Structure 1
Amino acid sequence: MIRCNDVQEQAQDLTEAFFEQWRNVLSTGDFILGEEVTRFETWLSGRCNGAQIVSMNSGTDALILAMRAVGVRAGDEVITCANTFIATVGAIVAVGAYPVLADVEEDELISLQTIEPVLSDRTKAVVTVHLRGRPVDMVPITAACRARDIAVIEDCAQAIGTLIEGRQVGTFGDAAAFSFHPLKTLGGLGDGGALVTTSTKIAEYVRGLRNHGLRSRDEAFGFGLNTRLDALQAAALNIKTHYLDLWLQRRRAIATYYDAVLADTTTGSDLGRGKAGSAYYHYVVRSHRRNELQQYLAHKGIQTAVHYPTPIHCQRAWLASRSAVSLPVTERLAKEILTLPCHPHLSDSDVEKIAVAIRDFDLK
């Protein structure tokens, strides 16, 4: 089976390097924060144009603390999209705010045009999701929000390596949340995340909140969380950072091949349509016969996935407590999208086999 992700292969390739690095951590006893965490934060700052980094144990916690840092409080409205992982909306709910869902464009991304109809006097923040590693058009969104005194938080969980005019996303809004879950392009061997911000005030506030709200061992300025990045996970991530650019290069090469070979099929190429700066965390096509295509590819030994089959406003979690929402583009795309394998462990023959199978299905 050609797998849709490469979590196991990647971990096996680097096993000895992980063990060696972990032995170093064990010998120092530096288990909470410490040198490995500092190294990783320094590296990520370099990737993010010198922005300040506060590492955490998940991207979800980074979203929660980002909202607390920009002043989102109970009863405020926060706008985001519904075709994202449940954590995006879950973080809004976790701070007591009310999630307001905007529709998306045909490229699956939120835009100023889809946000504007749901803006209100109660809007406190907008969470833009760089879905699948595709860059949201941040400049008009941030300009419009700043003119209204609305905070902008970037959900970059899938967007390490995603660029806007050569600049890493996550540095356009007031704060951003990155995830280093094992499935991510840069993933640990467990949970991990980071808040990125160009604001010293936000960074200092969140740095305290991630560590119980402590200023020192015995002095707390507020009630925070225990959401520090584990030193062993940081050590694993520090090894993987050396390979990230090669992995991103391979993903983009595979996407370029798919674009060329699938362009004239009914399935077509990635919904991002070769959007500049994409990191291709997912390569997603659409088909009116999506389920049939997925079954056909499985029969050919090709694993695919649907991210995400049920938009958040159609989930029981939403319907049990929120008003019904109509998002026509989001709903239509959810019935047609299919994620193809697009990761560094695919061989050229694997990629060719996938493309040939889709073209063969097109002729059925």
Structure 2
Amino acid sequence: MIKCNNVQEQAHDLSGLIFERWREVFNAGEFVLGDEVPRFETWMSQRCAGAYAISMNSGTDALLLALKALGVGPGHHVITCSNTFVATVGAIVAVGAQPILADVGDDELINVDTIAPLLTTRTRAVIPVHLRGRPVDIDSIVALCNAHGVAVIEDCAQAIGTTINGRQVGTSSDASAFSLHPLKTLGGLGDGGVLVTTNPKIAEYARSARNHGLQVRDESVVFGMNSRLDSLQAAALNVKVEHLDHWLRRRKEIADFYNEALGETATGADLGKQRTGSSYYHYVVKSKKRDQLQRHLAEHDIQATIHYPIPVHRQRAWLNSQPATALPTTERLAQEILTIPCHQHLSDGDVEKIAWTVRQFDSR
């Protein structure tokens, strides 16, 4: 089976280097906030044009602490999209704010046209999602929000390597959140995340709050939480970062091939329409016969998955606690989208087979 992810292969390829780095951590005995953690944060800061980078337990916690740092809480509205992993909305609910869901365009991304009608005096923040590694038009969103005194937090969970004008996304807003989940292009061997910001006050709060607000071992300055990236995860990531650019280049090569091979088919090329700066965390096509296409690919030993089959506003968690919401474009796309494999462990033969199999389905 040609798989949609390469978690096992990636871990196996680098296991020797990772075990060697872990042995150094074992010998030092620095398992919490040891030297590997600031080393990774320095790399992430450099990747993000010198912005502050505070590692933590997950991308979800990065969103949560960004919201808290900006004073978002009960009585406030936060606008985001519904075609995202549930954690984006869950972080808003966790701070006691009201999530307000915007519809998306045909490229699956929210934009100023879908956000603007939802802005009110209660809106405190907007969380645009760089879904699938596609860059949203962040500058126009920030300009709109600045005009209304609204903060912007970029959800970059899927966007390591995503750029705008050659610059890593995540530094155009008040703060951003990256995920280091094993499924991500740059993923650890467990959970992890990073909060990125150019605001020193947000950085100071996040760095303290992720560690129970401890200023020194026995003195807490704010009530925080335990959201530290452990040293073993940081060590593994410090090995992987040396390979990231190669992985990103391979994903783009595959996406370029798909765009050319599938561009004239009924299924069509990636919904991002070759959006400049995409890191192709997912390569997604759409079909009115999506379920049949998925089965056809499976019959040819090709895994294709759906990200995400049930938008957040159709999940039981939302229906049991939030007001009914209609998002027609989001709902239509959820019935048509299909993720096909696009990662660095695919051979040229694999990629050709996938494209051929999609074309074969379209010609039936």
Q: TM-score under structure 1 normalisation? A: 0.99
The one-character-per-residue Cα deviations of 1:218-243 (angstroms, maximum 9, x if unpaired) are 21111100000010000000000000
The one-character-per-residue Cα deviations of 1:18-47 (angstroms, maximum 9, x if unpaired) are 110100000001111121001100000010
Match of 1:160 in 2: 160
Match of 2:184 in 1: 184
SS at match of 2:12: helix
Structure 2 CA distance, aligned partners of 1:51 and 1:5? 30
Residue 147 of structure 1 and its aligned partner are, at CA, apart by 1.5
SS at match of 2:274: coil
Unaligned runs of 5+ in 1: none
Letter paired with 1:23: R
SS at match of 1:280: coil
Structure 2 CA distance, aligned partners of 1:185 and 1:74? 35
Structure 2 CA distance, aligned partners of 1:112 and 1:95? 25
State which drifts further: 209-218 or 254-263.
Answer: 209-218
Match of 1:346 in 2: 346
What aligned pairs does 1:224-303 form with structure 2 within 5 A after superposition? Answer: 224-303=224-303
Structure 1 CA distance, aligned partners of 2:166 and 2:86? 29
What aligned pairs does 1:211-222 form with structure 2 within 5 A after superposition? Answer: 211-222=211-222
Match of 1:306 in 2: 306
Match of 1:59 in 2: 59
Match of 2:329 in 1: 329
Structure 2 CA distance, aligned partners of 1:211 and 1:15? 29
Structure 1 CA distance, aligned partners of 2:228 and 2:323? 35
SS at match of 2:346: coil
Structure 2 CA distance, aligned partners of 1:360 and 1:159? 32
Structure 1 CA distance, aligned partners of 2:55 and 2:206? 10
Letter paired with 1:62: A
Structure 2 CA distance, aligned partners of 1:34 and 1:190? 17
Match of 1:11 in 2: 11
Match of 2:116 in 1: 116
SS at match of 1:184: coil
SS at match of 1:129: coil
Structure 2 CA distance, aligned partners of 1:38 and 1:214? 17
Match of 2:78 in 1: 78
Letter paired with 2:349: S
Residue 161 of structure 1 and its aligned partner are, at CA, apart by 0.3
Aligned residues: 364
Residue 146 of structure 1 and its aligned partner are, at CA, apart by 1.1
Structure 1 CA distance, aligned partners of 2:258 and 2:95? 41
Structure 2 CA distance, aligned partners of 1:325 and 1:85? 17
SS at match of 1:5: coil
State which drifts further: 216-225 or 121-130.
Answer: 216-225
Match of 1:20 in 2: 20
Letter paired with 1:295: R
Residue 316 of structure 1 and its aligned partner are, at CA, apart by 0.5
SS at match of 2:126: strand
Letter paired with 2:318: W
Letter paired with 1:241: V
Structure 1 CA distance, aligned partners of 2:137 and 2:28? 45
Residue 137 (structure 2) pairs with residue 137 (structure 1): yes
CA-based RMSD: 0.5
SS at match of 1:170: coil
Residue 250 of structure 1 and its aligned partner are, at CA, apart by 0.2
Residue 359 (structure 2) pairs with residue 359 (structure 1): yes
Indicate the percent of aligned positions where both proteins have the same amino acid: 65
Letter paired with 1:314: R
Residue 88 of structure 1 and its aligned partner are, at CA, apart by 0.2
SS at match of 1:224: coil
Structure 1 CA distance, aligned partners of 2:147 and 2:115? 14
Q: TM-score under structure 2 normalisation? A: 0.99
Residue 156 of structure 1 and its aligned partner are, at CA, apart by 0.2
Structure 2 CA distance, aligned partners of 1:13 and 1:34? 25
The one-character-per-residue Cα deviations of 1:109-154 (angstroms, maximum 9, x if unpaired) are 0101110111111000000100000000001110111111100000
Structure 2 CA distance, aligned partners of 1:224 and 1:180? 21
Letter paired with 1:311: P
Match of 2:107 in 1: 107
Letter paired with 2:329: V
Structure 1 CA distance, aligned partners of 2:148 and 2:216? 37
Structure 2 CA distance, aligned partners of 1:206 and 1:322? 29
SS at match of 1:302: coil
